[in-house]
Amino acid sequence: MTTPEIFTHPWAQDFCQALNANERYRRVARTWEGALLLVMEADPTRGIPTERAVYLDLHHGECRGARAAGPEDADAAPYVLTATPAVWKAILQGELPPIAAILRGKLRLTKGNMMALVPHVRAAQELVATAARLPTRFPPGW
């Protein structure tokens, strides 16, 4: 079996399965409701010629579905987090905590209310920790 490349449909599905298998995530995200769109900006120098995005349907500690996102998903998701490929890689490799990335403006909430996310910081941290444990292939040149 091939390790999926970051922010592709197979990667999104593996991420959803991993979230559903993570009891800690289920516990800390029990009050979270709403879809989340993770957007990786285009960066041809890093093998990402076009933007990539992943749509996560999250509900009370469960991932009800995940996929490579299309344009319609940006409208449907109440929260959109956007960063460059380099920032996503640093976050997923544990080099940059997501909260620090937000505070430094490297990871941007491009849709949604930051204050509504504050009570869910532990859920966000566990979500990222789960993604970091996924077998992930990065495009050549990373």
What pLDDT digit, counting tens, does each position of 81-129 carry? 999 999 999 999 889 988 888 889 999 989 988 888 888 888 988 998 8
Q: How far apart are CA 90 and CA 67, in angstroms?
A: 22
Q: How far apart are CA 91 and CA 94, in angstroms?
A: 5
> Would the pTM of this model clear 0.85, i.e. be above it?
yes
Q: How far apart are CA 106 and CA 27, in angstroms?
A: 28
Q: Decide if pLDDT at 6 tops 90.
A: yes
Q: Decide if pLDDT at 142 tops 80.
A: no
Q: How far apart are CA 85 and CA 48, in angstroms?
A: 8
Q: Decide if pLDDT at 48 tops 80.
A: yes
Q: What is the pLDDT of residue 94?
A: 87
Q: What is the pLDDT of residue 98?
A: 84
User: How would residue 1 be classed by pLDDT, with cut points 50, 70 and 90?
Assistant: low
* pLDDT per position as a tens digit, 51-61: 999 999 999 99
Mean pLDDT in residue range 24-43: 94
Q: Beta strands 62-68 and 79-83: pairing type? A: unpaired
Domains of the chain, earliest start first: 9-131 (3.30.1050.10)
